[in-house]
Amino acid sequence: MLLISSRTSSLFRFSSFPKCYHSMITINKLSPSLASHGSNLVKESRILGFKRVIDSPFRSKWGQIRVLSGSGCCCNNNNRGKSVISNVASNVRHHSTGVEGHAKEKGFERIYVQGGINIKPLLVDVVNNEEKQEDEFRVEVNSSNVNVDNDEKGLNEAEDVTVPKRELSRIEKEAWKLLEESVVNYCGAPVGTVAANDPADKLPLNYDQVFIRDFVPSALAFLLKGEGEIVRNFLLHTLQLQSWEKTVDCYSPGQGLMPASFKVRTVPLDGSGGATEEVLDPDFGESAIGRVAPVDSGLWWIILLRAYGKITGDYALQERVDIQTGIKLILNLCLTDGFDMFPSLLVTDGSCMIDRRMGIHGHPLEIQALFYSALRSSREMLMVDDGSKNLVRAINNRLSALSFHIREYYWVDMKKINEIYRYKTEEYSTNAINKFNIYPEQIPSWLVDWVPDRGGYLIGNLQPAHMDFRFFTLGNLWSIVSSLGTPRQNQGILNLVEDKWDDLMGQMPLKICYPALEYEEWRIITGSDPKNTPWSYHNGGSWPTLLWQFTLACIKMGRSELAEKAVTLAEKRLAMDKWPEYYDTRHGRFIGKQSRLHQTWTIAGYLTSKMLLEKPELASLLSWDEDLDLLETCICALSKTSRAKCSRGAAKSQILV
C-alpha cells in the first residue's frame, strides 16, 4: 500500500531554503501497489539518463547519470538514504489540488498557488523507512525527482544526436578542460557553471555565480557531448528558486520571475556543533547594477528546457507537474494584461544581456525574439487540458500578433528606409501609414550608406516617435533561429552580415551592436557610463560568445561557410588571449579593458559552434521552422468590434518568399 505523508496536505510550502537529498539506495523489494506499475517502475536506467549518454564515446566526468531530488540545502553530516523511483506517482498531478486554473472572461488561466509567492513544486520521494515494513513506502511532496509521465517512446526510439568522437584539437582540449573546471557542484552533483573562472581575479564580484543566460551555451555544449545530468539538475534547481520573495525597497517582483543568477553558499547549522549545510542563494536583481530584474532569465529557461528534451529524448521532464507549473507562471508574468498597446514585451533598460543603461528600454528586439522563442517552446511543451487550453489559445494569439508586428514594423532595408524618408506625420486614424508617428529626421546619416542593396535587418527598438536603427546582433540572430523573421528577411540579415563583415566581425566576432554611441549621445543615453565607452563592452564591443548563435542561424539558412569563417577567425586569438569576455575597439583588436578572462560562455560558445559545424543536422533540434498557421491567424479577425481589420494579407504578400 502506498502511504501518503501528511506533508502532501500542503503542496507548496514556505521554507527558508528548499531541501535537497540525493544519495541513492537499492530497492530490493517492492510493495504490491508499486509493483503494479509493472516494468515501467524498474526501468530506472532509461529514466535517470538518456540513452545517448550511455552509448556516447564521451563519458561524463560525473559518471553514471543520477537524479537529484529538489533544490535547496543539504547537511554535510546527513547520511539518510533516499531514492527516487520516477514513475511512482505517474498520476499524482491529476489529483493535485495545489494548483488551480482560473479563466478570465477575455483572458487565460492565472495560476493561483496555495501559500502565496513561495512555490515549492510537486516532487515525489520514495523513502526506505526502517521503522516500517519493507514493502511500505512513503510518497513525499517537496523533493524533486519524479518524471510523472515518462515518454518511453521518445527515449527508446531517439536517434543518437551526440557529436561523434574524434581527435580534438589543442584549443578544443583546453576549452573542455576550462569548461569542466568551471562546473559548480551542489550537494555533490553538478548544477551549473560560474560566469568566469580566472584564478588571478581577486575581486570576482558576481562572476563567481551561475547565471541562467550564461549557462545556456554551457548546457548545449554538455548536451551535445552527451552529458545531460548537469542540465537536468540546473533546470530543476533554478525552478525551485523561482518566485522567491526578494525585494527592493520593500517591493516584491511578480510571481514567476526567474533569478538572474544563484550562488552556492556553505552556512553553519544552528546549534549543530559546527555542522554546515549548502544553500542556493538567488539574485533577482536586488544586488545587480541598476537593480533591474532579469526579463530574459525565464525566457532562456524555457528555451533550454525544450533543447534538453529535443537532444536527450527525456520529454518526461517537461511533463512533470512542477515543470508545467513553472512554465505557466513565467507565461502569466509575460502575458499579463497592462497598459501597453503593442504585442511586443515592454521592459526597462538593463533587463537582458545588455544589463546596463544603453537606451534599450521599451520594446528591444532581443527580448522580443527570446519572447517569441519561449512562446513557441511553451506551445510545444504544455500539456493541453481543460486547465491550460485558454493559455494555449492566448499563446497562439500572441505569437500571431507578435510575428506580424516585428516583421512589418521592425524590418528595414533600402526600400523601407525610402518609405520612412517620405513619411507624413501627425496622422490620426486607424488607417494611418505612419502608425507610430516616426519623423523622417530620425534616419541617422550612417544608415543611408550602411544598408546594402541586397540585405536588411530588424531594428533594435520601436516606440512612439522613436526608431532605434542600431543593429543588435543577438536579436537579429535569434529572430533567424526562431523564424520570427520571414525566410526572405532571415536571408537578408545574413546578407548584411556578409556585406558588412569588417564592421560586425572585424578581428574578433561578433559586435553586440553597431554602431557605438559616441560623444554627446553616449553621455546622454548611457549616463556617461565609463564601462560602456564607445566600442567597448555593450557599446559596440565584440562578444565571442555570440558565435554559437551565429553558427546556429547560419546552419539553419544553409550558410555554414559564414559560421566556419567566423569560428576560424575567433580561433586565432581566443586561447592565446585566455578566453576573454569581450573585446574593445571598432574592429575588436584589444582585449576588453575590464574583460574577465576564462569567461565560461566564451569557452562554451566556441565549443558549441564547433560541435554544431561538425554535425550540422543538430541545428534543427535547436531552431524553429516557419509556422504557416500563425500567418493565417489574426486576432483582429476574432474581434467583434467595427474597427478596421489589419492589413495582414497585404503584409504577407510583401514580405513572404
Number of domains the chain is built from: 1
Dist. CA 32–CA 123, nearest whole Å: 22
Q: What is the 3-state secondary structure (H, E, C) of 107-133?
A: CCCEEEECCCCCCCCCCEEEECCCCCC
Residue 225 pLDDT level (bands cut at 50, 70, 90): very high
Q: Which domain holds residue 462?
A: 186-639+646-653
- Flag whether 103 is in a domain: no
Peptide bond between residue 122 and the one before it cis (omega within 30 degrees of 0): no
Peptide bond between residue 515 and the one before it cis (omega within 30 degrees of 0): yes
Q: Please report the pLDDT score of residue 113 as a whole number.
A: 40
Res 81 pLDDT > 70: no
In a 3-state reduction of DSSP, which class is residue 649? helix
- Flag whether 585 is in a domain: yes
- Flag whether 421 is in a domain: yes
Q: Which residues contact 147 (CB under 8 A, 6 or more apart)?
A: 47, 86, 87, 314, 316, 317, 319, 320
Each residue of 499-528: pLDDT tens digit?
A: 999 999 999 999 999 999 999 999 999 999
Least confident of 62-76, 309-323, 415-429, 511-525: 62-76
- Flag whether 53 is in a domain: no
User: Beta strand pairing status for 471-472 and 99-102?
Assistant: unpaired
- Flag whether 399 is in a domain: yes
- Flag whether 353 is in a domain: yes
Tell me the backbone φ, ψ of residue 500, rounded to 5 degrees. Answer: -110, 40
Q: Which residues contact 641 (CB under 8 A, 6 or more apart)?
A: none
Look at the alpha carbons of 255, 284, 302, 191 in this order and tell me if their dihedral is positive or negative. negative
pLDDT, mean of residues 243-249: 67
pLDDT, mean of residues 41-48: 33
Helices (H), 192-295: 212-225, 229-241
- Asked whether the beta carbons of 124 and 89 are under 8 A apart, the reply is yes
Q: Which residues contact 557 (CB under 8 A, 6 or more apart)?
A: 480, 490, 491, 494
Dist. CA 398–CA 374, nearest whole Å: 12
Q: Grid coordinates standing for 568?
A: 576560424
Residue 14 pLDDT level (bands cut at 50, 70, 90): very low
Res 134 pLDDT > 70: no
Residue type, 11: L
Q: Please report the pLDDT score of residue 65 as a whole number.
A: 35
Each residue of 348-363: pLDDT tens digit?
A: 999 999 999 999 999 9
- Flag whether 86 is in a domain: no
CATH code at position 590? 1.50.10.10
Cell numbers 560541435 correspond to what residue? 611
Neighbours of 136 (CB within 10 A): 16
Res 44 pLDDT > 70: no
- Flag whether 313 is in a domain: yes
Neighbours of 57 (CB within 10 A): 11
Q: Please report the pLDDT score of residue 169 as a whole number.
A: 95
- The percent of residues in the chain predicted with pLDDT above 70, rounded, is 71
Look at the alpha carbons of 212, 218, 224, 227 in this order and tell me if their dihedral is positive or negative. negative
